[in-house]
């Protein structure tokens, strides 16, 4: 099924180096959470740098439907007047979360802790994604869920009247499941405890503290233990959203692959649980450095400088997956251009993203003449030492990251690369094509990324 406004695109080698300074859209994970915590806080939260992609706008609409006042006051500038923990209202209509798995799963945590009835749906892609991984632990609060077969959307939830704290050991590393449990735990008396086998992005813990909750994190032999004291009074706090490292990945990899390029991506989030791609690219020999490091709103931020480099293949350990789970498609493109073989291990979680992202990444490579194979949960890419053929059309399966990875690949292949539908890029990176074309000195329709 394609987007009603299906938008094919293609990309070709720009014939010039990519140069310039740019900012990428605000971090999607932090943007979702800023709106949700603003809705739960007492007072008015001022947010700057909010990602205004479709996914985040769905969260804004959902917070309005639950009784918060949510207002856009300028580009990336938003104001949220919250209702306090436990104060959200029953929505009058179905909550449509579009393409956003993060918004849907975190919102289930919010709803579980409030005595409301709600129905949630999403687009065709989101309706295929598993929600049982969230509804199972959330049921321990006393909330009830009714889902389609396989725990899928549309679903209905009746939140708990007297929510109980959760004590849950995550079977797989998932920041979304952890965050849903913590959000439900806000409304419960006592201590909510979540144990994760591998550390995952900790934006929820950081933002909970920023708004005044008591959260402790301890590393133990059994995993990372997160404790949240329930029923805090969250107080409105200004949030400055840094640039999304998952979005920064695309111009960074493009600069590494197009000869002579030098690109500076400003104000990028550098949370250590999100920088797996930077670590991996450096292991491949990439000329990457960070300048102007600082702390903003509880998060590490800096400017990343990427310069053209001849890369070499590496083995990426499975424990790194949570810190770069969204970056594997574009890493696979870098691996395809590298010398030697790259093996990315432990990618089971990619099978349940916006698409089966593991299969879609393999298909992206194969369609463009790159030798690759899937071995269990590993993706093996045989590099071309800078001689990627290209010439294929990539099925994006309504997945924004597959679309952007394919278009980045086309900037460094012998023949152009086409994607069947780039409409979904706007969910996370509005203006992607124009920004990339601007780095090649042509921000208009005649740039290296254009209509197919």
**What are the residue numbers of the active site?**
326
Q: What is the 3-state secondary structure (H, E, C) of 219-260?
A: EECCEEEEEEECCCCCECCCEECCECHHHHHHHHHHHHHCCC
Beta strands 315-316; 287-296: pairing state:
unpaired
Q: Which two tokens stand for residue 103?
A: 């918004």
CA 452 to each of CA 46, 175, 328, 398, 407: distance values in angstroms, whole numbers, following the listed order: 40, 36, 25, 17, 11
Please state, as a whole number, how many other Cβ atoms lie within 10 Å of the Cβ of residue 365. Answer: 27
**Is the peptide bond preceding residue 179 cis, with omega within 30 degrees of 0?**
no
Compute the distance between CA of residue 126 and CA of residue 355 in angstroms, rounded to an integer.
9
Q: Which residues fall within 8 angstroms of residue 394, CB to CB, at 6 or more apart?
A: 363, 364, 367, 368, 402, 403, 406, 417, 418, 419, 420
Compute the distance between CA of residue 231 and CA of residue 57 in angstroms, rounded to an integer.
27
Q: Which residues fall within 8 angstroms of residue 69, CB to CB, at 6 or more apart?
A: 79, 80, 81
Rg (C-alpha) for the chain, rounded Å, is 21
Q: Which two tokens stand for residue 45?
A: 């939260």
- Can you list the positions of beta strands (E) in 270-409? 287-296, 299-307, 315-316, 341-344, 372-375, 378-382, 393-394
CA 103 to each of CA 27, 60, 191: distance values in angstroms, whole numbers, following the listed order: 13, 10, 24
- Can you list the positions of beta strands (E) in 12-126? 19-23, 44-48, 69-74, 77-81, 95-96, 117-121
Compute the distance between CA of residue 175 and CA of residue 44 in angstroms, rounded to an integer.
27
């Amino acid at each position: 099924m394609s987007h009603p406004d299906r938008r094919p695109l293609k990309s070709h080698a720009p014939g010039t180096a990519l140069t310039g300074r740019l900012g990428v859209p605000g971090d999607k994970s932090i943007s979702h959470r800023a709106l949700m915590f603003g809705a739960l806080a007492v007072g008015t939260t001022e947010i700057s740098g909010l990602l205004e992609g479709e996914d985040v706008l769905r969260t804004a609409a959902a917070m309005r439907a639950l009784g918060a006042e949510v207002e856009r006051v300028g580009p990336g500038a938003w104001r949220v007047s919250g209702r306090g923990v436990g104060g959200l209202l029953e929505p009058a209509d179905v909550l449509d979360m579009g393409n956003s798995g993060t918004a849907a799963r975190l919102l289930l945590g919010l709803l579980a802790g409030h005595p409301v009835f709600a129905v949630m749906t999403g687009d065709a892609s989101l309706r295929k994604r598993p929600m049982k991984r969230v509804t199972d632990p959330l049921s321990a609060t006393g909330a009830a869920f009714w889902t389609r077969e396989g725990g899928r959307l549309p679903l209905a939830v009746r939140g708990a009247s007297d929510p109980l704290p959760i004590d849950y050991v995550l079977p797989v590393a998932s920041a979304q499941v952890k965050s849903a449990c913590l959000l439900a735990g806000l409304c419960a008396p006592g201590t909510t405890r979540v144990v994760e086998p591998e550390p995952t992005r900790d934006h929820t813990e950081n933002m909970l503290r920023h708004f005044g909750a008591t959260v402790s994190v301890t590393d133990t032999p059994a995993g990372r233990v997160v404790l949240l004291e329930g029923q805090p009074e969250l107080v409105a706090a200004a949030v400055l959203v840094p640039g999304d490292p998952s979005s920064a990945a695309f111009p960074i990899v493009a600069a590494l692959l197009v000869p002579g390029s030098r690109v500076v991506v400003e104000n990028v989030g550098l949370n250590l649980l999100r920088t797996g791609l930077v670590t991996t690219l450096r292991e491949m020999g990439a000329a990457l450095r960070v300048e102007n490091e600082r702390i903003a709103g509880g998060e590490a931020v800096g400017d990343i400088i990427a310069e053209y480099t001849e890369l070499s293949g590496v083995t990426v350990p499975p424990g790194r997956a949570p810190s770069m789970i969204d970056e594997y498609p574009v890493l696979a493109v870098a691996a395809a251009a590298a010398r030697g073989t790259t093996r990315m291990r432990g990618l089971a979680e990619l099978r349940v993203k916006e698409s089966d992202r593991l299969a879609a990444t393999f298909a992206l490579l194969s369609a463009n003449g790159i030798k690759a194979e899937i071995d269990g949960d590993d993706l093996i890419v045989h590099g071309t030492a800078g001689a990627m053929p290209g010439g294929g059309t990539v099925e994006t399966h309504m997945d924004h990251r597959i679309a952007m990875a394919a278009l980045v690949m086309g900037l460094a292949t012998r023949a152009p690369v086409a994607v069947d539908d780039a409409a979904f890029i706007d969910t996370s990176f509005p203006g992607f094509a124009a920004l990339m074309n601007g780095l090649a000195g042509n921000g208009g329709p005649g740039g290296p990324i254009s209509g197919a």
